[in-house]
Amino acid sequence: YQDKEEVVLWMNTVGPYHNRQETYKYFSLPFCVGSKKSISHYHETLGEALQGVELEFSGLDIKFKDDVMPATYCEIDLDKEKRDAFVYAIKNHYWYQMYIDDLPIWGIVGEADENGEDYYLWTYKKLEIGFNGNRIVDVNLTSEGKVKLVPNTKIQMSYSVKWKKSDVKFEDRFDKYLDPSFFQHRIHWFSIFNSFMMVIFLVGLVSMILMRTLRKDYARYSKEEEMDDMDRDLGDEYGWKQVHGDVFRPSSHPLIFSSLIGSGCQIFAVSLIVIIVAMIEDLYTERGSMLSTAIFVYAATSPVNGYFGGSLYARQGGNLQWLKEMDKANVYWGIPHPSYGVWHCLLHQFYSHLLPCF
């Protein structure tokens, strides 16, 4: 940012504190909007759109390094309907989320008295924004101005902005959100240890049963000379060797089966790559970045789907329709496969030993 450049305060969602998945638009409650009507830019990524993130402009006029003294930005005409909406939100401990420069901020709508008869709304947003050079590195919100909710009254909403210099580096500004003491995360070590030991026990039990079965079969096969005529006639068709007839038998629908296997290989590759990228890059710093990365990687790894699906289809005795399988691997899921056009031609050349495409 440059000095006195526009800084946008986005209003995200509001919902009950004890059910984080239940969220609504911030202005679904009868909050009022600031006097500023427009902004210079609005950025929305593909991941935000797919996740349903619809940020709304708060209407507050905030400029970089420009302090704002306590000022009223709007007024709520509190009729009975609006009061009931605020009372319901306070009873259910509603909280809201905002963003400044992609940094999340949380606040409480209001609170009730000890008897639960009177309800109060926080009307004053006190913002303290930390900056390091020309970057925003820290944001804190303090809710003040407790006002009793009385029907047929007017409630003034106000705000202030205080800028302060911070030593936090821009690359480390999300570290406080990752601090366990900030969100009070509790790792259930006993549950993790219990699940781990249960997995070891089940794997050991299955392995022991399998080894005993195989050992008996090997002992029986090694004594073919001592077997009677009936056992000798069974030969390889007895015991675990019967499995070979099922393993190497082609499926009844090889095209669909190969498509499923190819899609599974692609999803596995996408999951592995996204995990590696998330470990290297800070995908949590931008809303929807994880989903956007997964979509891009899914499109880029489509040759994995085509290769494994097509090769499996060919090994099962498929005819020249193996190219169709590469396309159907994603067409079955309603997703256009990028193997059409030039990419389709290149794959055709590769698998057809450089046969001409045109």
38 and 167 inside one domain: yes
Tell me which residue range forms the domain holding 266. 251-353
Query: What tens digit of pLDDT does each residue of 257-312 get?
Result: 888 999 999 999 999 999 998 888 777 667 778 888 888 999 899 889 888 888 88
Q: Virtual CA dihedral for 104, 282, 172, 45, nearest 10 degrees?
A: -40
Residue 286 DSSP label: S
Residue 156 DSSP label: E
Residue 358: inside a domain: no
Residue 147: inside a domain: yes
165 and 200 inside one domain: no
Q: What is the mean pLDDT of the chain?
A: 79
Joined together, the tokens standing for residue 103 give 């940094």
Beta-carbon contacts of 291 under 8 Å, excluding residues fewer than 6 positions away, are 46, 47, 50, 51
- Contact, 75 vs 155, CB < 8 A? yes
Largest Cα–Cα separation, the chain: 101
Domain count of the chain? 3
Joined together, the tokens standing for residue 171 give 């690359």
Query: What tens digit of pLDDT does each residue of 65-81 get?
Result: 999 999 999 999 999 99
Split at pLDDT 50, 70, 90, the class of 353 is: very low
Q: Is residue 355 classed as helix, strand or coil in its secondary structure?
A: coil
Domain end, chosen from 160, 180, 200, is at 180
Joined together, the tokens standing for residue 104 give 């999340």
**Helical packing angle, 342-351 and 322-331, nearest 10°:** 140
Domain end, chosen from 215, 233, 249, is at 249
Domain end, chosen from 124, 146, 180, is at 180
CA dist., res. 154 & res. 22, Å (int): 29
Quickly list H helices, the chain.
46-51, 80-91, 175-178, 180-183, 189-221, 229-234, 243-247, 254-280, 289-300, 302-315, 322-331, 342-351
60 and 100 inside one domain: yes
Could you tell me the pTM of the whole model?
0.62
